[in-house]
Structure formats: C-alpha cells, structure tokens
Amino acid sequence: MKSELLKNVRFSGTLDGNGCTISGIEDKLFYEVNGASIKNIVIKGQLAKRSADTTIENSGFYVEGTDKTKDYAVIQTSEDTAIQNSFAFMNAEGQNTAGFVWEGTGTISDSYVSGYLKAEKAVYGFGRDVEIKNSYITASLIGKTRVLFSKGEHTDCFYDAQINDLED
C-alpha cells in the first residue's frame, strides 16, 4: 500500500484488520483518527498524527525512522485514546520519541513497548502524559530526558531490564 493514499484522511469508523498487516507506510497511515475503532491489525508505520475518542485493541505497530528533525510515536497527539492488548515495536531516532503516544491524554493497558527509542530531546517509553495500567517495556531509551513509562499515572507496570538514571 502506498502511504500517500491515506496520509491526509480523517478516519472515523471501524478498521478491523482480521489479523492482517499493512506495510509500506513511509510516514503515517492517517492524518487523524476520530471516534474510530482500530483492532486486530498490525501496522508497519505510525498510525496517525492526531487521535481523539478512539479505541485501539489487539493491534501491533512497527515504527522505524532516523530523521532527527521528526517526532516518532504510533500517535503524535492524543485526546482520550484508549489502547489495550497492543504492542509498539520501535526502532526510532528522532527529535522526540515515544512508544504509543507522544503527547496528550489517554489510557494504555495490557500492552507493551519494545525496541530502541532515541531522541535529541525527550524519550518516553509509552507516552508523555498518558495513564498506563498492567503493561511492560523492554526497550533501550536514549535522550536528554528519559522516562521509562509516562509522566502520567502508571500502575502494575514493569520492565525486564536494568535501566538506571531514568525518571519513572
């Protein structure tokens, strides 16, 4: 799928991938997901620049990039997005980097982040301000500011590697 086809689309509806994978995304699949339900899909690339009132479940994301002028995350800006039973595998080096949500509100539960996250400025394992429940991270975080989970509330979360000198 050519990433150019949907990059300016504002999607609202249900995207049930039935276990399929979407690949070939150079930037983001959609510009915005609003009031959407995304489930049972693997996306090789970032999902959206913006997300609002959206539910993501049973899905996986592979995000890669090395442009140090860009921010990398599954979703750049979120307003009340709920992510559950999902994963973000990151191999990204940008200006700012986060696993699921770079900035904004939302909840992430029963999910994990894995891989390599590096940034010139800030790195957040799951997201800057999101609430995280019952989730884990196995990732290398490199940046001036490094936060293992989120600045938001996190409960019943864990990591399986020794990581020193991080805000949690």
How much is the pLDDT for 8?
A: 84
Both structure tokens of 37 = 């339900």
Model's pTM, two decimal places? 0.91
Q: What is the mean pLDDT of each run of 10 residues along the chain (168 residues)?
A: 68 97 91 97 96 98 96 96 98 96 96 95 94 94 90 90 51
How much is the pLDDT for 41?
A: 98
- Identify the bridge partners of residue 13 per DSSP, sorted by sequence position: none
* Greatest alpha-carbon span in the chain: 43
How much is the pLDDT for 128?
A: 92
Both structure tokens of 165 = 């000198």
How much is the pLDDT for 166?
A: 53
Residue 9 and residue 30: Cα distance in Å, rounded?
5
CA geometry: angle at 22 spanning 34 and 54, to 5°? 15
